[in-house]
Amino acid sequence: MQYCAVPLGLKCLHFGIVRRDLRVDNLAFTADFTRLLICDLEGRWGNRLAPDVSREQVLHAGWTDKSDIYDLGGVTKGMIYGNVPITHLVEWPVPPPLVAVVDSCTRQRPEDRPSLDDLRAMVEQIK
């Protein structure tokens, strides 16, 4: 399951760094899904809708690794549907095995969101 690589890759990246721009189009898997690259391939500023951001980002309370965990909720939905399913018109349902993952990632209070290790354990139990 290639999604398991996302929390691990983010944990490696978080070695002192907060991503702040985690979204589906910033994830690149090799053809055999054995490697993941978390990058920013956006070459044109202002050509996409504003992302769904965590409450602390809106309130200028600071970016933390928990902000990136929030973004993983949207990334999870995007990986399920192959695009970003959140719009002002449609909120597509998350399949039952991943509801707990998405819900825990998008909790309002950062301290209520799982750690990357906890998130990976949740995902590995789904296999």
CA distance 76 to 93: 12
Q: What is the mean pLDDT of each run of 10 residues along the chain (127 residues)?
A: 62 61 68 66 47 56 78 81 64 85 91 90 83
The per-residue pLDDT for 83 is: 61
The token pair at 116 is 């990357």
CA distance 119 to 105: 8
The per-residue pLDDT for 69 is: 86
Cβ atoms of residues 22 and 14 within 8 Å: no
Q: How many domains does the chain have?
A: 1
The per-residue pLDDT for 114 is: 94
Cβ atoms of residues 54 and 67 within 8 Å: yes
- Phi, psi angle pair for 40, to nearest 5°: -125, 105
CB atoms within 10 A of CB 116: 21
Q: What is the CATH number of the domain that holds 9?
A: 1.10.510.10
- Determine the structural domain holding residue 45 and report its residue range: 2-126
Cβ atoms of residues 98 and 127 within 8 Å: no
Tell me which residue of 33, 36, 39 sits closest to 8, measured CA to CA. Answer: 36
